[in-house]
């Protein structure tokens, strides 16, 4: 019998399945790569720049020194993802506001103060607009706005930003109301016999239905397309999460051969196909011609939002290719729906822990629900939403305390003077850590206290503009902030109108795990009690 030999492992040939063979080949390549890097002189990719006097301060930045094998760098010193926020605090305490790391051959400079965050996030120089290489893991090779950089990003962002203005969402208010009413009904059923439950699935479904309509411009939730899209999106995000847990899968040349990579492509194509159907629908109705856009706008005239059309319509109008539209829409939905449902649950959780604030928000909501000019037949008027001021402050304060934005990244395409005398070479990636900045008493006194009044106009004006980063800040901030707040407000107001909310979970036990699907490690548990059976 013949036996193939690989990396010192002997396997009987008959038993070798294709998968095993692949693993052997990949491990061999991986080991060769490591051995090569041991014998390669330990020098940075930015060797030339680093040698110059100009980069002396960069070279001398504090931080854990790279592991002897530069290719691995500090990767082995990094904790599990669940401990990431704790590690950010510890590193800040040890190395201060600006320190340096090397992970898998990538040089990283970590920034932990609002002024440092402003230098990079607030810059309008297109050399500082590229996201970190980690983003390729999420949506590699696609043309969605979170992946673009330089002029292309700028043109696209300008093109679609009208579709994300506050008033642009007015036309979807019936959809926000319809899906939220259904959510409240589902929760009522879930809690009819009391008990402690998680509400993650119900909230996620509701957010997906609201966001897909607000982003696509049509309701895909009721037909099979919506279900396929939602399921594919979930699988897609789970695959990315799995990949993030296994560092060797982060190497593109390893990933390309992995079976999950093919699965990822398969579900991405399913999402694209759903978008394709929507796009064909638009084209059939000739909605993308100027005339039809005018017509679409006529439909919503009188409501003061006549200039707003969906991002698909805008891209069609501007001649963006079908492929790029599919990718844009799929990625926008991917980044929109989980974050909003997690943020909504985090806000509800903090309201459950702070019954006094819950009461204030409920009283505010009740006032709207008892006014027939603002609420009737299950519909809360869009124009009434801004009146939920306390609730909005509670949502912002919750997102400060348990920030879903863990790391904001920018890879430098040109050297950047971060502060006087400290120049960072091109090629380095800057990491900004919002959870650390959000807990700095200089910006948020008594940072562990839930104090929504921090977001009153006056204290907000006095605070550094880059101290609150839940939706990032500067020209490349989150384009969907307004939609996220609208959806969260609508859902929480209707829930508080119907139920009193408590939780058996403790604030200290909630661990936010950074990922493409950021959120609490375990779904938060709630207890809902109907206030009044007539509500
Ligand atoms: C509470 C919910 C949300 C949170 C916490 C959140 C947070 C963020 C953060 C931190 C970024 C990174 C910005 C940066 O790199 O500086 C981002 C980017 C982005 N978000 Fe959101 N987001 C939320 C909801 C949404 C929604 C509802 C949408 C879409 C409708 C959306 C669309 C996007 C897009 C397209 C980008 C990339 C923008 C660009 O690169 O120009 N997000 N978001």
pLDDT by residue for the chain (535 residues), tens only, comes to 332 322 223 333 334 455 566 666 666 666 666 656 555 544 455 555 556 889 999 999 999 876 666 656 666 566 666 778 888 999 999 999 999 988 767 889 999 999 999 999 999 999 999 987 777 666 666 777 888 889 999 999 999 999 999 999 999 999 999 999 999 999 999 999 999 999 999 999 999 889 988 988 877 766 657 778 888 888 888 888 778 777 678 777 788 888 888 998 898 888 888 888 888 877 776 554 444 333 333 443 334 444 678 898 899 889 999 889 888 888 888 888 889 999 999 999 999 999 999 999 999 999 999 999 999 999 999 999 999 999 999 999 999 999 999 999 999 999 999 999 999 999 999 999 999 999 999 999 999 999 999 999 999 999 999 999 999 999 999 999 999 999 999 999 999 999 999 999 999 999 998 776 678 989 999 999 999 765 6
State which H helix or E strand residue 10 sits in: strand 9-10
> Do β-strands 9-10 and 98-103 pair in parallel, antiparallel, or remain unpaired?
unpaired
**What sign does the dihedral 350-354-356-358 (CA atoms) show?**
positive
State which H helix or E strand residue 523 sits in: none
Residue 115 is predicted with a pLDDT of: 98
Q: Which two tokens stand for residue 300?
A: 């919503």
Q: How far is the CA of 480 from the centre of ligand 1 (A)?
A: 6
Q: How far is the CA of 48 from the centre of ligand 1 (A)?
A: 36
- pTM of the complete model: 0.86
Atom of ligand 1 nearest to the CA of 121: 16
Atom of ligand 1 nearest to the CA of 157: 41
Question: Which residue has the CA at smallest separation from atom 24 of ligand 1?
Answer: 336
Residue 418 is predicted with a pLDDT of: 96
- Residue 418: phi and psi, rounded to 5, are -75, -40
User: Has residue 22 been placed in a domain?
Assistant: no
Residue 174 is predicted with a pLDDT of: 95
Pocket of ligand 1 (CB under 6 A): 121, 145-146, 157, 211, 215, 332, 335-336, 339-340, 343, 404-405, 408, 470-472, 476-480, 483-484
Residue 139 is predicted with a pLDDT of: 66
Q: Rounded distance, CA 404 to CA 514, Å?
A: 7
DSSP string, 89-105: HHHHHHH-SEEEEEETT
Q: Rounded distance, CA 350 to CA 508, Å?
A: 12
Tell me, what's the ipTM?
A: 0.98
User: Has residue 33 been placed in a domain?
Assistant: no
User: Has residue 535 been placed in a domain?
Assistant: no
Scan for tokens 């009208």, then name that residue: 162
Report the half-sphere exposure of 460 (CA within 13 A, side-chain side). Answer: 12
The answer to whether 307 and 160 are in contact (CB under 8 A) is no
Q: How far is the CA of 332 from the centre of ligand 1 (A)?
A: 8
Q: Can you give the residue range of the structural domain that contains 66?
A: 41-530
Q: Rounded distance, CA 103 to CA 364, Å?
A: 49
User: Has residue 29 been placed in a domain?
Assistant: no
User: Has residue 11 been placed in a domain?
Assistant: no
Question: Which residue has the CA at smallest separation from atom 11 of ligand 1?
Answer: 478
Q: How far is the CA of 339 from the centre of ligand 1 (A)?
A: 8
Q: How far is the CA of 167 from the centre of ligand 1 (A)?
A: 18
Residue 256 is predicted with a pLDDT of: 83
Instruction: Indicate the SS3 state at residue 500.
Output: strand
Q: How far is the CA of 392 from the centre of ligand 1 (A)?
A: 18
For the chain, what is the radius of gyration of the CA atoms? 25
Q: How far is the CA of 481 from the centre of ligand 1 (A)?
A: 7
User: Has residue 9 been placed in a domain?
Assistant: no
User: Has residue 224 been placed in a domain?
Assistant: yes
Question: Which residue has the CA at smallest separation from atom 31 of ligand 1?
Answer: 480
User: Has residue 289 been placed in a domain?
Assistant: yes
Q: Which two tokens stand for residue 524?
A: 């938060």
* Residues in the chain, overall count: 535
Q: Give the number of domains in the chain.
A: 1
User: DSSP E strands: which ranges in 370-524?
Assistant: 375-376, 379-380, 408-411, 416-419, 422-424, 429-432, 499-502, 512-513, 519-520
- Closest Cα partner for 357 from 496, 459, 245, 470? 496
Q: Rounded distance, CA 425 to CA 412, Å?
A: 8
Looking up residue 218, the CATH number of its domain turns out to be 1.10.630.10
Question: Which residue has the CA at smallest separation from atom 43 of ligand 1?
Answer: 478
Question: Which residue has the CA at smallest separation from atom 21 of ligand 1?
Answer: 478
The answer to whether 277 and 223 are in contact (CB under 8 A) is no
Q: Rounded distance, CA 491 to CA 207, Å?
A: 9
Separation in Å, CA 502 to CA 350, 359, 364, 390: 9, 12, 19, 19
């Amino acid at each position: 019998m013949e036996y193939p030999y690989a990396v010192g492992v002997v396997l009987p040939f008959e038993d070798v399945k294709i998968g095993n063979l692949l693993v052997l080949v990949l491990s061999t390549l991986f080991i060769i790569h490591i051995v090569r890097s041991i014998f390669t002189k330990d020098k940075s990719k930015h060797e030339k720049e680093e040698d110059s006097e100009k980069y002396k301060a960069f070279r001398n930045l504090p931080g854990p020194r790279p592991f002897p094998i530069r290719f691995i760098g500090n990767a082995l010193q990094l904790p599990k993802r669940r401990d990431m926020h704790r590690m950010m605090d510890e590193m800040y305490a040890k190395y201060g506001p600006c320190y340096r790391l090397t992970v898998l051959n990538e040089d990283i400079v970590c920034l932990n103060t609002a002024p440092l965050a402003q230098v990079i996030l607030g810059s309008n120089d297109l050399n500082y607009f590229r996201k970190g290489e980690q983003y390729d893991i999420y949506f590699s090779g696609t043309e969605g706005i979170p992946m673009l950089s330089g002029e292309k990003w700028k043109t696209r962002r300008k093109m679609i930003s009208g579709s994300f203005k506050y008033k642009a969402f007015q036309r979807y208010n019936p959809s926000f109301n319809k899906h939220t009413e259904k959510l409240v009904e589902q929760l009522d059923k879930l809690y009819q016999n009391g008990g402690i439950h998680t509400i993650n699935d119900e909230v996620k479904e509701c957010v997906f239905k609201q966001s897909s309509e607000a982003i696509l411009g049509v309701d895909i939730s009721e037909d099979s397309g919506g279900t396929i899209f939602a399921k594919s999106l979930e699988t897609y995000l789970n695959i990315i999460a799995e990949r993030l847990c296994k560092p060797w899968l982060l190497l593109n040349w390893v990933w390309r051969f992995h079976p999950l990579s093919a699965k990822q492509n398969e579900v991405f194509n399913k999402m694209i196909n759903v978008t394709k159907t929507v796009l064909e629908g638009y084209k059939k109705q000739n909605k993308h011609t100027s005339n039809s856009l005018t017509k679409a706008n006529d439909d919503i005239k009188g409501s003061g939002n006549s200039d707003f059309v969906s991002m698909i319509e805008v891209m069609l109008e501007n001649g963006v290719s079908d492929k790029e539209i599919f990718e844009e829409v799929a990625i926008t939905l991917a980044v929109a729906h989980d974050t909003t449902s997690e943020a909504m649950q985090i806000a509800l959780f903090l309201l459950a822990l702070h019954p006094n604030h819950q009461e204030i928000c409920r009283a505010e909501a009740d006032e709207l629900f008892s006014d027939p000019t603002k609420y009737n037949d299950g519909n809360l008027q869009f124009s009434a939403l801004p009146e939920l001021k306390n609730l909005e402050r509670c949502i912002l304060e919750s997102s400060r305390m348990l920030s879903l934005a863990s790391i904001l990244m920018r890879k430098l395409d040109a050297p950047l003077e971060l502060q006087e005398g400290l120049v960072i070479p091109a090629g380095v990636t800057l990491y900004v850590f919002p959870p650390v900045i959000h807990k700095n008493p200089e910006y948020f006194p008594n940072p562990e206290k839930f104090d929504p009044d921090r977001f009153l106009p006056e204290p907000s004006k006095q605070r550094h503009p880059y101290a609150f980063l839940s939706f990032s800040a500067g020209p490349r901030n989150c384009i969907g902030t307004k939609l996220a707040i609208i959806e969260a407000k609508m859902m929480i107001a209707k829930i508080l109108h119907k139920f009193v909310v408590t939780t058996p979970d403790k604030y200290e036990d909630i661990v936010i795990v950074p990922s493409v699907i950021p959120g609490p490690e375990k779904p938060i548990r709630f207890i809902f009690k109907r206030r009044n059976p007539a509500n």
